[in-house]
Amino acid sequence: MYHPSGSVVRQSAGFATGLLDPKTPDRGSADTDAILFQRCTWCGTAMYHRLLCPVCQGSDLRTERSEGTGTVRHSTVVHRNTPAARNVSLIEMAEGFVLRGRVMGPPIGIHSGDRVRLSTAKDPVRGEPVFQLLDEPYRAWS
């Protein structure tokens, strides 16, 4: 639907640009970060950093705050454009959306299925969310 004032477009764009948002004192600790994501009011699909719903193409999205826990869907080790090896992971959050981030720890030790929680730190260079492992993996090393 066309809106001459453009207010709907500006609201949607404003919601989509807030990647990490510090919690306010009435919502929790001031030293932790939270991930903001969108949920379609028509079909209920959760998404990260979108202007339109990928399922129904709806533009009526509401912003919600993630609880910060998720599971590593895929992780890879990157050696270029960095002084040391680092991992880049796709994290499937508990709310149902997927985002790219970094998991702290040795890059070779991050695997699909590992449970993670949002860390208080942010990647200062790339601005991506940084996660930490919830459970120490119990793997047999050969």
SS3 content of the chain, % helix, strand, coil (to 5): 10, 40, 50
Task: Work out the mean pLDDT of the chain and round it to a whole number.
Answer: 76
Confidence of residue 24 (pLDDT cuts 50, 70, 90): very low
More confident residue, 91 or 136: 91
Is 7's pLDDT higher than 80?
no
Query: 68: which DSSP letter?
Result: S
Q: Give residue-wise pLDDT tens across range 31-83.
A: 457 889 999 999 999 999 899 999 999 999 999 999 999 999 999 988 887 77
Is 117's pLDDT higher than 80?
yes
b or e along 101-125 (b: 16 or more beta carbons within 10 Å of the residue's beta carbon)? bbbebebeebeeebebebbeebeee
| Residue indicated by tokens 């992971």 | 89
CA–CA separation, 140 vs 121, rounded Å? 30
More confident residue, 11 or 110: 110
- The tokens for 133 are 């492992």
* Rounded (10°) CA dihedral 67, 19, 101, 47: 70
Residue 4's pLDDT is 40
